[in-house]
């Protein structure tokens, strides 16, 4: 059976990245060719170790994991242990993996696989965009070789979560984000506008615990840390936004956006209060505007609001058949 999508997942494996990976790994029709890691929620090396732990838990230690950018282009990366825990996985003490990262750096792996599989690979980026931007610099033809890019990042009509103007993945490396978003390849951007409206709750967590598999027990335990942060700092109750899992579901066609105009998107790279803001003209949602030059980014502004049910259903389902990389 042909895969519905063949993915490289580029991530900074914290709690929501882990949930996104588990969501994808539960689908036998999704082919993850590789996972590349970047700084962000946690440092890139720990993100790779976390990824290997999650892959092993899901029965897929065969998927190669490559370490990427350890810092942003300006050399001032920040991490988020207050959100994701000291280990990036909600302090869950998931067993150490038996596999190790591949020697090939992330950007080189992305370029190589794209050259070997022209028009086939879908890049799903749910962390800072430094690896993808570096890959574009390594091979300016990369946007022509890649089928599609789905990015969790940005805030269009919604306030940022790193600053009033900027979402964390974009804010962590605005120069890299601008390089990626203006490179000309077909992009779906899944910003806070959509992800903050898709919330996983204690009810979903109870269902995960009751299912009692190693995967659901791990997911439920991680959510304790996530809910702690969101209760104190964001929603005021024990629920959390489905950032990376929603982007994963949109990438593989499981969720269809309700509102998603195709526009040009740029990133503010100045040093003022707007640094890291994603800038897009979405006034066309209200009335017709002339076509925008270089409009190649589908910006997901609204989804149905019931994705957490799908996420819980997927994680509580029977394990997917093992797919081995050729």
**pLDDT tens string 115-161:** 999 999 999 999 999 999 999 999 999 999 999 999 999 999 999 99
Spatial distance between the Cα atoms of 41 and 306, rounded to a whole number of angstroms:
26
Catalytic residue, chosen from 204, 243, 244, 254, is 243
Mean pLDDT of 172-177: 98
Catalytic residue, chosen from 10, 12, 49, 87, is 12
Domains and CATH numbers, the chain: 5-316 (3.90.245.10)
Classify residue 322 as left (phi > 0), alpha (psi -120 to 50) or beta.
beta
The dihedral sign for the CA sequence 152, 153, 154, 158 = positive
pLDDT (0 to 100) of residue 2: 53
pLDDT in tens, 251-296: 999 999 999 999 999 999 999 999 999 999 998 777 666 677 788 9
End-to-end CA distance of the chain: 14
* 12 given a catalytic annotation: yes
Instruction: Assign 308 to helix, strand or coil.
Output: helix
- CA dihedral in degrees (149, 172, 44, 191; nearest 10)? -40
pLDDT in tens, 205-223: 999 999 999 999 999 999 9
**Res. 319: pLDDT tops 70:** no
- In terms of DSSP bridges, do strands 278-280 and 265-267 run parallel, antiparallel, or are they unpaired? antiparallel
In contact, 120 and 82? CB cutoff 8 Å: no
Spatial distance between the Cα atoms of 295 and 291, rounded to a whole number of angstroms:
8
């Amino acid at each position: 059976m042909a895969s519905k999508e063949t993915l490289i997942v580029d991530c900074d494996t914290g709690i929501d990245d882990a949930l996104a990976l588990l969501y994808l790994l539960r689908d036998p029709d999704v082919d993850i060719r590789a996972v590349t890691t970047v700084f962000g929620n946690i440092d890139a090396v720990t993100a790779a170790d976390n990824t290997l732990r999650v892959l092993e838990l899901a029965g897929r230690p065969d998927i190669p994991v490559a370490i990427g950018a350890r810092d942003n282009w300006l050399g001032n990366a920040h991490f988020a242990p207050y959100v994701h825990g000291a280990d990036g996985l909600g302090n869950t003490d998931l067993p150490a993996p038996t596999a190790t990262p591949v020697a090939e750096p992330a950007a080189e792996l992305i370029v190589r696989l794209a050259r070997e599989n022209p028009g086939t690979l879908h890049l799903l980026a749910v962390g800072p965009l430094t690896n993808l931007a570096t890959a574009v610099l390594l091979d300016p033809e990369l946007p022509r070789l890649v089928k599609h890019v789905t990015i969790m990042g940005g805030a269009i009509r919604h306030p940022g979560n790193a600053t009033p103007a900027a979402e964390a993945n974009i804010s962590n490396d605005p120069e890299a984000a601008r390089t990626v978003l203006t490179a000309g390849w077909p992009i779906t951007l899944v910003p806070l506008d959509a992800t903050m409206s898709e919330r996983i709750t204690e009810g979903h967590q109870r269902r995960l615990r009751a299912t009692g598999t190693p995967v659901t027990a791990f997911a439920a335990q991680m959510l304790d840390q996530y809910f702690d942060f969101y209760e104190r700092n964001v929603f005021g109750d024990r629920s959390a936004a489905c950032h990376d899992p929603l982007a994963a579901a949109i990438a593989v066609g499981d969720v269809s956006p309700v509102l998603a105009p195709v526009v040009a998107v740029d990133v503010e790279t100045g040093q003022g209060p707007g640094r890291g803001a994603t800038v897009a003209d979405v006034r066309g949602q209200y009335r017709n505007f002339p076509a925008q030059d270089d409009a190649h980014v589908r910006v997901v502004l609204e989804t149905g609001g019931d994705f957490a049910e799908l996420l819980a259903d997927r994680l509580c389902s029977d394990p997917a058949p093992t797919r081995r990389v050729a």
